[in-house]
Amino acid sequence: MPFRTTIAGSLPKPAWLAEPERIFPNWRLEGPHLAEAQRDATRIAVGEQVRAGVDVVTDGEQARSHFVHGFAERLGGVDAQKRQKRGIRGDRYEALCPTVTGEIRRNVPVHLDDVRFARTLTSGALKLTIPGPMTLVDTVVDEAYGSRRELGFAFARAIAAEIAELIDAGIDVVQLDEPAFNVYFDEIEAWGIAALDLAFALADCTKAVHVCYGYGIPANVEWKNNLGERWDQYALVLPALARSCVDEISIELAGSRVPPDVLALAGDKTVAVGVIDVASNAVETPGDVAATIALARQYLPDERIVCSTNCGMAPMPRDIAYAKLRSLADGALLASVGL
């Protein structure tokens, strides 16, 4: 059976929709014109994945400006207008973040319309990404809770309510993005896994979590250059996730200094292995992709490997991202031929 393929989540937005190659882009349009353009961009994002041969597709996150704020700002208790600068991911870089001013409540669905629309575009497997509780905590300014743990559980309850409705809308995979897990190792054990399990409490679908070294932006590239020859962060993260309720763990491998032997620490989970580097505009050949899959196969049985991208491709040039989609699917097929 061929290796299954998916993407971490985002694809670049067209320049007519938002400022290109930015992780916090401004929209080009407003109101109903913006909504219409987001749907057109979603059609393209899903279409490009289907055309490339990707098995589990996403909406390309075309309807949210940033993967965290697009969720957080729709919740009650979050003041989207009150933006404050703060250091995020262990002060790796600064971002303008919305402020938590009261009790977190999911008063309205956040991504339900996005999922309903994307569901009309493909009969294949559909995945939606949502920021995980710890990453949400790390990307807002808290003026209400005074405890990362308590705020994290509040976000987890909101996510659980959201997921329950997404299942009714036909979602197949929900992936919680937790790049913060690669930074706050003490908090993973203290409350991160418990919050993740709470967020998935009502998830009658494939439960995935994505932990990565971030987009290929300069602050991340600089950070990664200082992490040494062997990036051992996953050696701390994977055993903890192996004890969680998740079915699938999405991590990066291609073009990184992640030692492939850490894959053996994923317990009995499926691993969505990053076989496409999002920090480089060089497009992998299918042979490159197959070689990365071969590395993973040294430590994981074939049935527990899904082939994915290292992270979201939002900040990349569009033509390069689409070319990488084709290499992802072609490389997975190439690796499968020898089975």
Size of the site for Zn ion (CB under 5 A): 2
263 or 311: whose CB is closer to Zn ion? Answer: 311
Q: How many helices (H) and strands (E) does the chain have?
A: 11, 11
Q: How far is the CB of 69 from Zn ion (least distance, A)?
A: 15
Q: How far is the CB of 28 from Zn ion (least distance, A)?
A: 25
240 or 311: whose CB is closer to Zn ion? Answer: 311
β-strand pairing of 93-105 with 76-88 = antiparallel
Q: Are 173 and 205 spatial neighbours (Cβ–Cβ below 8 Å)?
A: yes
Given candidates 126, 271, 311, 321, which one binds Zn ion under the rule CB under 5 A?
A: 311
Q: How far is the CB of 219 from Zn ion (least distance, A)?
A: 14
- Under rule CB under 5 A, which residues in 244-263 are in contact with Zn ion? none
Please state whether 334 falls in left (phi above 0), alpha (psi between -120 and 50) or beta.
Answer: alpha
Q: How far is the CB of 254 from Zn ion (least distance, A)?
A: 13
99 or 182: whose CB is closer to Zn ion? Answer: 182
**Length in residues, the chain:** 339
38 or 256: whose CB is closer to Zn ion? Answer: 256
- Report DSSP letters for 272-284, one per residue: EEEEE-SS--SPP
Question: Which range touches Zn ion (CB under 5 A), out of 135-143, 189-197, 212-220, 259-267?
Answer: 212-220
The edge-to-edge listing of strands for the beta sheet with 173-177 is: 4-5, 305-309, 270-276, 248-252, 206-210, 173-177, 125-131, 56-57
Q: Quick check: 316 binds Zn ion (CB under 5 A)?
A: no
49 or 182: whose CB is closer to Zn ion? Answer: 182
68 or 311: whose CB is closer to Zn ion? Answer: 311
Q: How far is the CB of 10 from Zn ion (least distance, A)?
A: 9
| Neighbouring-strand partners of residue 209 | 176, 249
Q: Are 298 and 264 spatial neighbours (Cβ–Cβ below 8 Å)?
A: no
Q: How far is the CB of 33 from Zn ion (least distance, A)?
A: 30
Secondary-structure breakdown of the chain: helix, strand, coil percentages, each rounded to the nearest 5: 40, 20, 40
b/e map 170-189, b = 16+ CB within 10 Å: ebbbbbbbbbbbbbbeebbe
266 or 311: whose CB is closer to Zn ion? Answer: 311
Question: Which range touches Zn ion (CB under 5 A), out of 197-205, 209-217, 227-235, 296-304?
Answer: 209-217
Q: Are 38 and 105 spatial neighbours (Cβ–Cβ below 8 Å)?
A: no
Binding mask 54-93 for Zn ion (x = CB under 5 A): ----------------------------------------
Given candidates 52, 141, 154, 212, which one binds Zn ion under the rule CB under 5 A?
A: 212
Q: Which residues bind Zn ion (CB under 5 A)?
A: 212, 311
